[in-house]
Structure 1
Amino acid sequence: MEWTGERIIPEQMKPTNGMLLEHLARYYFATPYVRGRVLDIACGTGYGTHMVAKTCKQDVEEVIGVDIDPETITYAKGQYYHPKSSFRVADALDPRLPEQLGRFDTILSFETIEHLSDDRLFMQHLWEMLLPGGTLVLSTPFGSGRGKPTTEPFHVHQLTPEEFADLFHAYSEVEIFYQRGVTIEPPRKGVRYPLGVAVCVK
């Protein structure tokens, strides 16, 4: 498998690669929220699923990494092993997804929603799969808004910060952070942030 710009393959990238560092930062940021049965949806090559299983081994029962691409999941299975992690092929928009995967204490979804034609259906699936009291950590890049063109070839659209915040109205607790490089923080006045990271409790 070769790194294409959207697929992060740490073994083929320089440790100083900015995109790799940004992706790793999101997983490290999520680790304090991770517990119980964990879903990493759109896990790509599996490095983050493995990192979470390894870093949070005392707090998790299992970590399941899911991706739509069979080749990517095959790579993940061959590259990353941990007794508490596993990988499987599934489609985030498949109506049977909640039935196939079950329910979780923690769901991680990093840089996924911008690739999906129906982000509302995806959010519905996440809600159905998250146990009461469970935590969702979700990130996405900001852009011109739902249904509007984006310069990123693999993105269907990129939500505005307002549209992003509106995704989580059903949750009992919502904290929205912003990412710039490897820094994930509450918003600071005068700083432009290209990405949002939401931490939500059902």
Structure 2
Amino acid sequence: MKLTGERVIPKLMDCNNGLLREHIERYEFASRYAGGRVLDIACGVGYGIQILLDNDNGEKIQHIIGVDIDEETVAYAKSNYTSSKVSYFIKDALSEALEVDLGSFDTIISFETLEHLENDAAFIHNLEQLLKPSGKLIISTPMGRGRGMPCSNPYHVHQYKEEEFIQLLNKFNKVELYYQRNDTIEKAIEGKKYYLMIAVCSH
């Protein structure tokens, strides 16, 4: 695979690369919540799944399913980040058949996916359906000028304002918001500028 700027591929990047460190930190954050059946939707090359497994000291994770729409990416993940606890599938995150095909999950992770999708509401609906009643969804997206507004990233359809992100998640009973700047993830500190939002959601 080649680095195009669309996907993070750790084995092709310097370990001190800022973008890589930010992405790794998000999976470190998600490790706090990961347990049971885990879905990493739009999992990319699978490095995040390896981080989840490496951090599972209490063996809370039963199985992880990684889903991505790109065949080459899934093939790379199967070759580089495999385990008896991991399965990969080529799937469209907007498919109405996802729940039938994959079942339901205790933990769903969706990092840097939402902003790529025109039909963001359909994607959130799918996540709601896939999440077990007692499950947790950990979802992130970069902050921006608003839905449909121009942004510097050619791969992004939307970059959300905070209130738009919260509105998209309004079907969940509980939404905890965290913010990221560089490799720090925290609750918002007044006056501090952040570039990315992470929500932890439950029914």
**Range that drifts further, 172-181 or 19-28:** 172-181
Q: Residue in 2 aligned with 1:193?
A: 194
CA–CA distance in 1 between the matches of 2:72 and 2:195?
A: 30
Is 1:54 aligned with 2:50? Answer: no
Q: Residue in 2 aligned with 1:126?
A: 127
What is the deviation of 1:147?
2.2
**Range that drifts further, 164-173 or 99-108:** 164-173
Deviations 1:26-60 (A, max 9, x none): 00001111110000001000000122123226001
CA–CA distance in 2 between the matches of 1:31 and 1:100?
A: 25
Deviations 1:68-100 (A, max 9, x none): 000000000001122111111100111212221
* Backbone CA RMSD of aligned residues: 1.0
CA–CA distance in 2 between the matches of 1:13 and 1:162?
A: 34
Q: Residue in 2 aligned with 1:9?
A: 9
CA–CA distance in 2 between the matches of 1:119 and 1:143?
A: 15
- SS of 1:33's equivalent in the other structure is coil
TM-score by length of structure 2 reads 0.96
Matches within 5 A, 1:47-86: 47-56=47-56, 58-86=59-87
CA–CA distance in 1 between the matches of 2:64 and 2:140?
A: 19
CA–CA distance in 2 between the matches of 1:83 and 1:179?
A: 32
Deviations 1:91-139 (A, max 9, x none): 0111212221110000000000000010100000000000001000000
CA–CA distance in 2 between the matches of 1:151 and 1:97?
A: 31
Contact kept in structure 2, 1:177 and 1:186, CA below 8 Å: yes
What is the deviation of 1:168?
2.0
CA–CA distance in 2 between the matches of 1:97 and 1:147?
A: 26
CA–CA distance in 1 between the matches of 2:141 and 2:169?
A: 13
Contact kept in structure 2, 1:25 and 1:183, CA below 8 Å: yes
**Range that drifts further, 15-24 or 50-59:** 50-59
Contact kept in structure 2, 1:50 and 1:85, CA below 8 Å: no
- SS of 1:19's equivalent in the other structure is helix
- SS of 2:31's equivalent in the other structure is helix
Q: Residue in 2 aligned with 1:18?
A: 18
Q: Residue in 1 aligned with 2:101?
A: 100
Unmatched 5+ residue regions in structure 1? none
Q: How many residues align?
A: 202
Contact kept in structure 2, 1:45 and 1:75, CA below 8 Å: yes
TM-score by length of structure 1 reads 0.97
Unmatched 5+ residue regions in structure 2? none
Q: Residue in 2 aligned with 1:174?
A: 175
Matches within 5 A, 1:140-155: 140-155=141-156
CA–CA distance in 1 between the matches of 2:157 and 2:99?
A: 23
The one-letter amino acid paired with 2:169 is F
